[in-house]
Amino acid sequence: MSDQVAVIRKKYLSLEPNFQELIKRHWLASEAIAIGRGGIEIVHEATGASRTTIRAGINELKTGAISEKNRQKKAGWGRKLLAKHNKTLLSDLNNLIEPETRDDPENPLRWTCKSAEQIKTKLNEMGHQISERTVNRLLHEMGYSLQGNQKTLEGNQHPDRNQQFRYIERKSRKFLKEN
């Protein structure tokens, strides 16, 4: 996490309990404007606020026009997060991606070999009604990189390559369990 993201997150967390919707949107926008290029993404990363909300605030500040969305909502209003309603969603998601999770010991990134589309399809088959966008958000919250990985050319792949990795993963779990 960059220093800039950390500073904005600290300010946001100290102000958040006192924010009303319009003031919050304008504060987010003013932070993004002050940063300049890339400000929307940095403010989004630091606060978790929607990029659309930040852009709306920037537009309101620049034009002086306030959208119809400036009504003051009461705390707790709005649609609840899917994971709050569906208690098994996160465990099912984790069980689905854990055997296919990859990471690099020299890099803090984690990723899964399955696409968000594949994960969405599997979760829907398990009875969860979930969108690809929500899968992406949950993976991001779990610390997964959402970037596609570029394969390096390593020559011909062995036909049992995936089975080999699954075998190694099972053995690793067994040894870790046994200390």
Residues 62 and 89 in one domain: no
75-111 CB burial, b ≥16 within 10 A, e <16:
eeeeeeebbeeeeebeebbeebbeebeeeeeeeeeeb
| 58 inside domain | yes
Burial label for 149, CB within 10 Å (0-12, 13-18, 19+), is exposed
Same domain, yes or no, for 8 and 62?
yes
Whether 159 is covered by a domain: the verdict is no
Residue-number span of the structural domain to which 96 is assigned:
79-147
Domain count, the chain: 2
Asked if the structure places residue 92 within a domain, the reply is yes
Dihedrals phi, psi of 109, to nearest 5 degrees? -75, 140
96 in the same domain as 47? no
pLDDT, one tens digit per residue, over 92-112 is 888 877 766 655 555 555 667
User: Is the domain of 17 the same as that of 63?
Assistant: yes
Last residue of a domain, one of 46, 70, 94: 70
pTM (predicted TM-score): 0.41
pLDDT of 9-49, one tens digit each? 999 888 888 888 888 999 999 999 999 999 999 999 999 99
